[in-house]
A and B are shown apart, each in its own frame.
Chain A
Amino acid sequence: MKVFLAFLKKEFRHVLRDRRSLAVLIGMPIVMLLMYGFALSTEVKNSRIAIVDLSKDEVTRTLIQRLDASRYFTVTEYLDNPEGADLLFRQGKARAVVVFQEGFQKSLLHTNTASVQIIADASDTNTGNTVAFYISSIIRAYQDELLTHQKLPYRIQMEAQLAYNPQLKSAFNFVPGVMVLILILLCSMLTAVAIVREKETGTMELILVSPVRPWMMIVAKAIPFLLVGLINVAMILLISYTVLGLPMRGNLLLLVAECGLFVLLALSLGLLISTRTDSQQTALFISLVGLMLPSLVFSGFMFPLENMPLPLQYISKIVPTRYFFNILKSVMIKGLGFSQVWKDTLVMAGMTVFLLGMAVRSFKMRL
């Protein structure tokens, strides 16, 4: 036991002395959270649009002013004809071009119709779609105003409610994502690298012939990272709650327990990787490309799972982060309890046991 504690102390010293790594490990989640919280959003705001006003009358001026005044758009250019649109898009100067036909107001007065054409840059597809939709909404709103004395008959009104996230805070989706990222980075990648480093420098053999049992070394290496990981999780939760305004709806204890389970899973993965690689470079490479990338892509954090082609969806079923991410969302944001997440938890627990078993077996064999 004393031997184990001595080892543990040594490992702690290693981790704490590497101030640069620590700086990144603690700084990265904070920076990411702040960025996601304040900088990244898919909302359309201040999109640059250009106008081709072939009519230049009162009505078009009003419409143009409406568009400019809205927080969604800023009118940045006035073109003389629609042919200039291509160049504008190619130079990236506008997201959409709105074309008002010649004699707009006249046509409206005499025939009660007038045409507006929206040309949207769909190279950024979702934004293009949204921009076009907002432009047409603004124009339609004006149309409604024209009918102050006559309401269109047979109106269907739509009322929309936003569940769980009425203020449309994007934070809700990415805080769990950032947690997943950090835990994988810490518990899998760094632990794997730390163990492999002993192999590379040859001290592994020393340990294996000493009274220190192999499991002691591994556990001793894992614990400092585990602690840093838990501190990170606490920090992430704290920042989300205070700075980003993310409500903490679920059961905190359940949350911590699930995080603990995931940490164990990540550690087993790290251990497995460390038993199969001999150099730090390989361990880093496998952790990044073989572990981190699929974990991020298939977890549902960055890209919606249901849109993926079927084979990829099947793959996501064996990626552990998918389940953890789900659990996090359900507990943290929706405030659900264990009765709703037990299935995912079971899957994760099963994976942990399996991976741990494989790692231990692999370790023994490599000796």
Chain B
Amino acid sequence: MLKALLNKEFRQIFRNPSIIRLMLAAPIMQLILIPLAADFEVKNIQLAVLDWDHSTYSQKIISRLGASGYFQLVETPKDAATAQEALDNNRVDMILEIPQRFERDLVREDEAKVYFKADAVDVMKAGLAINYSGQIIQQVNQEIREDFVQLPRFNPVPMLNISTQYWYNPGFNYRHYMAPGILALLLIMVGSMMCALNIVREKEIGTMEQMNVTPVKSYQFLLAKLIPFWLLGLVSLTIGLIVCFLAFGLVAAGSYVTIYLFAMVYLIAALGIGQLLATFSDTQQQATLFSFFFMMMFVLLSGLYTPIESMPLWAKSIAWANPVSHFVDVMRSVMLKGSTLYDLKYRMFWLIGFAILFNVLAMLNYRKRVG
């Protein structure tokens, strides 16, 4: 009986062109579009400079900022009001003001100030802009100091040498960072939303009623819906991985087998969620809204977009209960850091747990008979 049902599902899916299009087009589009667009690297910070000093040192600061690659000197306004207006109108992101007598104060008084004013509407950008400027100012400061003070072999003052190494993504390639997470997002979209819509569609048309009056058991019906979408999900994943390679040159640092193992379990969980949502929806519109809502919530709280560590305790606890957060971490760890199945074994346990939980819930909630 299951075989007959599976037969039916596969035939229906392949005869429906829009499903195929979605399975093929969606991964490609999403994978190409989002990592390309999602460049959080803060570069090209538009800077307006009010240099009242016009000294060597002020020029040094300005040129160093420009040469850093982070900043673009776009405006040199005549006065503070014009600068403010540029900030208001989003023409610049930050204003640097170097007061008169800057160089003189620095040399004579040992201390001088520079003023930065950043557009903090985008908190991250402002934070990083200030961080970067801080780093550059420190560097310039050190150089100026060395001009004056010949540092002997032994430092007159204690100095700590700090060296920094960046592992796994030393080139700060944002695409490599985003792509694994997008793959996780993709799978849950395909899994939950498509499966849910498919089931609810049968409800809407009336064929589900016909099914319900036959001896077909709930688990058989749901299983027959799960398997084809599971396979399609794996196909989407494969396409996604290929696109990652072709478009971004991203090759997994770890084992692809690990990726597929995790993906298989994750998909079962995602499909379970979709089926569970379908049992609560009567129309395709409801199913879409529900899946969209849950997907949104899961994805936002998954650490894909913002780090889980920064979340308050209650949100962090939710992250444990969120299959997407587990899988996003798995994808990133395996693809970028080369983590192994053993490294991530706890995540596997969680994912297996979810897979079982959601599917069992869906089965229990699926009523062949309306109460």
Contacts and interface: CB of A to CB of B under 8 A. Distances in A.
B119 A124 contact: no
Interface stretch (B163-171, B217-225, B232-240, B354-362): B163-171
A329 B121 contact: yes
Contacts of B4: none
A96 B344 CA distance: 18
A90 B37 CA distance: 27
Interface in B96-140: 106-107, 110-128, 130-131, 133-135, 137, 140
Interface in B134-156: 134-135, 137, 140-141, 144-145, 148-149, 154-156
Interface stretch (A233-241, A302-310, A350-358): A302-310
Contacts of A123: 168-169, 177, 332-333, 336-337
B282 A20 contact: yes
B310 interface: yes
B127 A168 contact: yes
Interface in A284-338: 284-285, 288-289, 293-294, 297-298, 302-304, 306-309, 312, 326, 329-330, 333-334, 336
Which of A154, A159, A166, A280 lies at the interface centre, i.e. has the most chain B CB atoms within 10 A of its CB?
A: A154
A140 to B, nearest CB: 7
Nearest to A160: B116
A309 B118 CA distance: 24
A250 B207 CA distance: 54
Contact of A48 (B137, B163, B173, B309): B309
B133 A158 contact: yes
Nearest to A150: B157
A126 to B, nearest CB: 5
Contact of B36 (A24, A122, A309, A330): A309
Given A40-B305, A120-B164, A156 B172 contact: no
A235 to B, nearest CB: 16
B293 A24 contact: yes
A303 to B, nearest CB: 5
Contact of A307 (B29, B43, B158, B312): B43
A124 B203 CA distance: 43
A89 B168 contact: yes
B290 A24 contact: yes
A113 interface: yes
Given A112-B154, A147-B158, A170-B123, A162 B118 contact: yes
Nearest to A289: B26
Interface string A16-53: 00101100110110011001101111111111100000
Interface residues of A, number: 113
A125 B161 contact: no
A77 to B, nearest CB: 15
A117 B160 CA distance: 10
> Which has the most chain A C-beta neighbours within 10 Å: B197, B288, B339?
B288
B131 A165 contact: no
A153 B148 contact: yes
Given A304-B39, A306-B44, A158 B116 contact: yes
A55 interface: no
B311 interface: yes
Contact of A284 (B197, B315, B340): B197
B120 A163 contact: yes
Interface residues of B, number: 114
Contacts of A117: 162-165
A285 B18 contact: yes
A289 B89 CA distance: 32
Interface string A132-156: 1100100110110011001111111
A44 B125 contact: no
Given A25-B289, A159-B113, A306-B44, A44 B310 contact: yes
Contact of A21 (B87, B116, B128, B285): B285
B284 interface: yes
Nearest to A153: B110
Contacts of B164: 117-120, 132, 136
A281 B315 contact: no
B310 A32 contact: no
B228 interface: no
Interface in B286-309: 286, 288-290, 292-293, 296-297, 300-301, 305-307, 309
A130 B128 contact: yes
Contacts of A193: 284-285
Contacts of B135: 133
B40 A154 contact: no
Given A90-B340, A165-B121, A41 B116 contact: no
Shortest beta-carbon contacts, A-B, top 3: A39-B315, A307-B39, A165-B120
Interface of A: 18, 20-21, 24-25, 27-28, 31-32, 35-36, 38-48, 85-87, 89-92, 95, 108, 111-130, 132-133, 136, 139-140, 142-143, 146-147, 150-166, 168-170, 172-173, 185, 189-190, 193, 197, 280-282, 284-285, 288-289, 293-294, 297-298, 302-304, 306-309, 312, 326, 329-330, 333-334, 336, 340
Interface of B: 18, 22, 25-26, 29-30, 33-34, 36-44, 46, 61, 87-90, 106-107, 110-128, 130-131, 133-135, 137, 140-141, 144-145, 148-149, 154-170, 172-174, 177, 197, 201, 280-286, 288-290, 292-293, 296-297, 300-301, 305-307, 309-312, 314-315, 329, 332-333, 336-340, 343-344
20 contacts: A35-B300, A42-B307, A47-B309, A111-B154, A113-B159, A115-B162, A115-B163, A116-B162, A119-B167, A124-B177, A140-B162, A154-B110, A154-B141, A156-B106, A156-B114, A158-B113, A160-B133, A164-B120, A304-B40, A307-B40
